[in-house]
């Protein structure tokens, strides 16, 4: 799921859950003291921050603090706080939200860097096998295997030109030569009937990779661009060998 969508979902769901928890605990004021209510709300704040990041954590924490102040601190039904401990609890809710959101954002950046490093390793593996003297056929199979994993495909194979049937193409900018898109978590799905990735060498169409996608699996633009880079890398290698 894109970061913006995660943030919006974290803000909306986290805020609603915080307000709902504070409201549902109102009849239990005589059973559960305000410190325990603040603790329960803090759990909601941390979960929202963990899912949606800094903004989701901050907004949820603010709504949780307001709901806690309004419904669980005296005088009830007012934003005034008479008890210093309750004031501290409300302030800590906001601090927890900001800290948890910051931590979540940093962890997300670490995961993104690891993912980018993994995609670069795909290009390195193909280049390494080319310099090791692998045949063109073996390199084509290696690129097919990298595409299979990179795009989360059900299957992937190479077809030499000419082709028996036309398929939607994955364009150089990562878009598709079709006007129909089916969205899923992580991006849009590749067409379920298959996608073509042409392989050009010295201005001549050598063949194409046929991508058979996994139904319900979205493919982010970053992964599509890595896939295109893999095919371009193979094309360059084949061009050099043909020279």
Residue at 190 is within a domain: yes
Same domain, 178 and 231: yes
Q: Which two tokens stand for residue 23?
A: 């409201």
Residue at 119 is within a domain: no
Residue at 156 is within a domain: yes
Same domain, 74 and 141: no
Residue 142 to residues 40, 156, 199, Cα–Cα distance (Å): 51, 11, 14
Q: What is the mean pLDDT of residues 121-127?
A: 80
pTM: 0.57
Same domain, 230 and 143: yes
In this predicted structure, the answer to whether residue 182 has a pLDDT above a threshold of 70 is yes
Cα 208 from Cα 227, distance rounded (Å): 13
pLDDT for residue 211: 93
Which has more pLDDT, 143 or 71? 143
Same domain, 160 and 105: no
Same domain, 71 and 163: no
Same domain, 212 and 177: yes
Q: Calculate helix-pair angle for 54-72, 84-131, nearest 10 degrees.
A: 160
- Torsion (CA) 119, 220, 7, 54 in degrees, nearest 10: 10
Domain coverage including residue 76: 3-110
- Percent of the chain as helix, strand, coil, to the nearest 5: 60, 15, 25
Cα 57 from Cα 61, distance rounded (Å): 6
Residue at 116 is within a domain: no
Q: Which two tokens stand for residue 26?
A: 């109102």
Same domain, 64 and 144: no
What percentage of the chain exceeds 90 in pLDDT? 7
pLDDT for residue 49: 78
Same domain, 153 and 194: yes
Mean pLDDT of the residues in the chain: 80
**Residue 30 near residue 62, CB atoms below 8 Å:** no
Query: CA geometry: angle at 65 spanning 9 and 60, to 5°?
Result: 10
Residue 156 to residues 130, 142, 178, 215, 218, Cα–Cα distance (Å): 20, 11, 20, 14, 16
Residue at 26 is within a domain: yes
In this predicted structure, the answer to whether residue 192 has a pLDDT above a threshold of 80 is yes
Identify which of 126, 146, 144, 135 has the alpha carbon closest to the alpha carbon of residue 209: 144
Q: Which two tokens stand for residue 99?
A: 């800290």
Residue at 233 is within a domain: yes
Express each pLDDT in 49-67 by its tens digit.
Answer: 777 777 777 788 888 888 8
Same domain, 30 and 74: yes
Q: Which two tokens stand for residue 79?
A: 């934003």
* pLDDT band at residue 2 under the 50/70/90 scheme: low
**Which of 58, 78, 110 is a domain's end point?**
110
**Residue 215's domain is classified under what CATH number?**
3.30.450
Same domain, 160 and 231: yes
Express each pLDDT in 127-172 by its tens digit.
Answer: 888 777 778 888 889 999 999 988 889 999 999 888 888 898 988 8
Same domain, 141 and 232: yes
159 CB burial (10 A radius; 0-12, 13-18, 19+): middle
- Number of structural domains found in the chain: 2
pLDDT for residue 3: 58
């Amino acid at each position: 799921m894109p970061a913006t969508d995660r943030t919006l979902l974290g803000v909306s769901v986290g805020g609603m859950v915080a307000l709902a928890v504070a409201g549902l605990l109102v009849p239990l004021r005589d059973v559960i003291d305000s410190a325990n209510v603040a603790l329960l709300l803090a759990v909601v704040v941390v979960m929202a921050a963990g899912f949606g990041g800094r903004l989701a954590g901050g907004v949820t924490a603010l709504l949780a603090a307001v709901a806690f102040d309004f419904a669980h601190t005296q005088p009830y039904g007012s934003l005034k706080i008479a008890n210093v401990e309750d004031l501290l609890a409300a302030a800590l809710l906001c601090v927890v939200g900001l800290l948890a959101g910051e931590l979540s954002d940093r962890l997300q950046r670490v995961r993104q860097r690891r993912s980018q490093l993994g995609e670069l390793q795909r290009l390195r593996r193909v280049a390494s096998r080319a310099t090791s003297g692998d045949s063109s056929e073996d390199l084509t199979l290696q690129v097919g295997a990298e595409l299979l994993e990179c795009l989360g495909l059900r299957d992937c194979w190479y077809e030499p030109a000419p082709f028996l049937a036309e398929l939607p193409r994955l364009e150089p900018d990562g878009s598709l030569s079709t006007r129909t898109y089916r969205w899923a978590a992580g991006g849009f799905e590749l067409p379920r009937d298959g996608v073509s990735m042409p392989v050009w060498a010295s201005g001549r169409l050598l063949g194409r990779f046929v991508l058979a996608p996994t139904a319900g699996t979205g493919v982010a633009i970053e992964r599509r661009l890595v896939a295109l880079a893999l095919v371009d890398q193979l094309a360059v290698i084949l061009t050099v060998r043909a020279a």
